[in-house]
Amino acid sequence: MLILLGPLLLMPLPTLRAGDASARPNILWLVSEDNNPFLGCYGDALAHTPTLDRLADEGVLYERCFAQPVCAPSRFALITGMYAATAGPAEHMRAQGKIPAWLKGFPALLRAEGYYTSNNDKTDYNSPVSIREAWDESSPQAHWRKRPSPAHPFFSVFNFFVTHESCLFPTKELPLTLPPTDRAQVRIPAYQPDTPEIREDWGRYYDHIALMDSQIAQKLKTLADDGLAENTIIFYYGDNGGVLPRSKRFLEESGTHVPLIVYFPPKWRRLAPAAPGSRIKEPVCFTDFAETVLALAGVNIPDYMQGCAFAGPAAKTNEFVFCTRDRMDERYDMMRSVMDCRWLYIHNYRPDLAYVQRLDYMFKARGYQSWQRMAAEGKLTSATAQFWGAKPTEELYDMMTDPDSVQNLATDAAHRETLERMRAALARHTLEINDNGFIPEGSPLEGYAASRRNGAYPLERILALAAAASERDVKNLPKLISALDDASEPMRWWAAQGCTMLGAKAAPTEALLRKHLTDASGAVQVAAAEALSALGKTDVALPVLARCLQNADSPFFSLQAANVLNRLGERARPALPLLKKFLASLPRPSDETLANGYLKRLTGQTVSVLEGREPALVYPTFPAAAKE
């Protein structure tokens, strides 16, 4: 058998001594941060990834692996085998999903069957999953070498940070092991403007992928040196979509498509879904990983898991996989997507919000800054403006012929059947997992148990209303008016958001919206205030938004108010003195809670724009039409 010992060398593996081999395979996860499949084995001619290319030659490559578009919801899916949206608010970035007491990280199930589990060392599970129960050790020092004896099978995870988003805004340069990527050779996708900054970001990203490949090689060498390769199934994958503009955080293929390679040594090749060197075309996603590892280890798979084991004795294939986008750091949005082997369908539940909102962390990247500059100078083309403005309600892309996701086929009559099939698949999935994303963050209805109480969360009705609201069609106004007085908090919330999306066409709802400025739900108050602002009643809305902003007992309702105030732009100027006072009252960085940290970022940015110290984002007037 061959095993990788370095980026350019294949060497035979020494035979294991009798008695050392376990009756069950070791399983090793090698996880790179923020990676698209920019690897040679995925057909990228510019990539220098000899280690992973050879791992693919000896293993099985999954062509259509999809992650959630950002790390915390993705890692919730990995550790639980469940979609993050099933236990709100885990679907949001940096949240604490309300999970049932019985839910354990799946490595705890391996431990119960005699596996040694180690994690080096990222967790970021977006929920109070017990680290102590899941891992024998989770730390920068965690390693399979710390297992009690050589006879113990292990499940070990190593995370490689070198490709993380922060590599695009470094405080210091990492030494390269190879000549830098030729920036002139980079292919700039159709949706990005070809600026020097974006081209430089692409080159830097390729350089860091090469560094990551060499780090993977060292870990594989350690495995071989320890005499463990013959008994270890190796997974390599990226933890979420890449870091270049319109990737991480977004539901196009550029934000969710990640590499996945699984190597099965000869001893365990019977567990593989195909022969070495094979390429699997059926889609897989992160909810499948826990079930797959349990299947490979011979451990019973719990009924609550929502994935599909893609290897092992009872491997299955998915017809569809699903992704979500909700709050990213300090900014709210809501999108849902479904993919099969060919098609990507996206439903935008707040199509009135621009694709690009100015997230503080994201805009540290020079590529986003240069895109903003091009937009402000009026230099965007129709193609590069598509991602820099309002969204259509629905998007449909052919991933085989349009990997850049720039030709929206949702309104093309020739693809009507495909659109309806994908739309129906997404609706079924939403109901099956009891998607908590249709509940306002901060509501007592959030969470696995709370949202499943009989009658508490009428999701079928809420989903229908949210879909109608997102259509931005005045014919749906009677539905919105009726729902504004519904007993269900999410129904009232979506009704008010629908009024915002209709703008002046929602004028008949003004009296009802004023009534809900004192709604029992802070989220509904904020949504009603935004809808009134859309009707030109900003003078009525601002005092309510100011009150909600300062509600220390409900930090996420405060954050929702801060989002609306930021979106109001110049219309929020009368609130500037209050915003400055509120900003000064927030705790120092060393003391701030997560919610306060986001409030500080967002309120600070609003104040900075209103005071002229920072330009507001400029959006083209034609991107929504171009998408549709």
Q: How far apart are CA 110 and CA 171, in angstroms?
A: 40
Q: d(Cα 362, Cα 317) in Å, to the nearest integer?
A: 35
Phi, psi of 12 (to 5 degrees): -70, 145
Would you say 351 and 501 are in contact if contact means Cβ atoms under 8 Å apart?
Answer: yes
Q: Residue 44, SS3?
A: coil
Residues 6+ apart with CB under 8 A from 500: 352, 506, 527, 530, 531, 533, 534
The β-bridge partners of 4 are 10
Handedness of CA 371, 375, 377, 378 (dihedral sign): positive
Strands 321-325 and 335-339: antiparallel
DSSP letter at 573 equals G
Specify which residues 11 forms β-bridges with: 3
Residue 528 is inside which H or E element, if any?
helix 522-534
Q: Are 162 and 173 in contact (CB under 8 A)?
A: no
**Which tokens belong to 503?**
């703008």
232-238 and 26-32 strand pairing: parallel
What pairing do the DSSP bridges indicate for beta strands 343-348 and 394-398?
A: antiparallel
CB 320 within 8 A of CB 339: yes
Instruction: Please state the three-class secondary structure of 145-205 as a single string.
Output: HHCCCCCCCEEEEEEECCCCHHHHCCCCCCCCCCCCCCHHHCCCCCCCCCCHHHHHHHHHH
397: left (phi over 0), alpha (psi -120 to 50) or beta: beta
Q: Using CA atoms in the order 262, 268, 271, 272, what is the torsion angle rounded to 10 degrees?
A: 40
User: Is position 71 annotated as part of the catalytic site?
Assistant: yes
Q: Which of 41, 65, 71, 167 is catalytic?
A: 71
Cβ contact 160:130 at 8 Å: no
Count other C-beta atoms under 10 Å from residue 166's C-beta: 16
**CA-wise closest residue to 1 among 229, 328, 183, 198:** 229
Residue 28 is classified by DSSP as E
Contact (Cβ atoms closer than 8 angstroms) between residue 96 and residue 448: no
Q: Give the count of beta carbons closer than 10 Å to the beta carbon of residue 421.
A: 16
- The full DSSP string for 400-450 is TT-TT-----TT-GGGHHHHHHHHHHHHHHHHHTT-GGGSPTT-TT-STTG
Q: How many whole angstroms separate alpha carbon 155 and alpha carbon 343?
A: 34
Angle (nearest 5°) at CA 456 between 524 and 290: 105
List the catalytic residues. 71
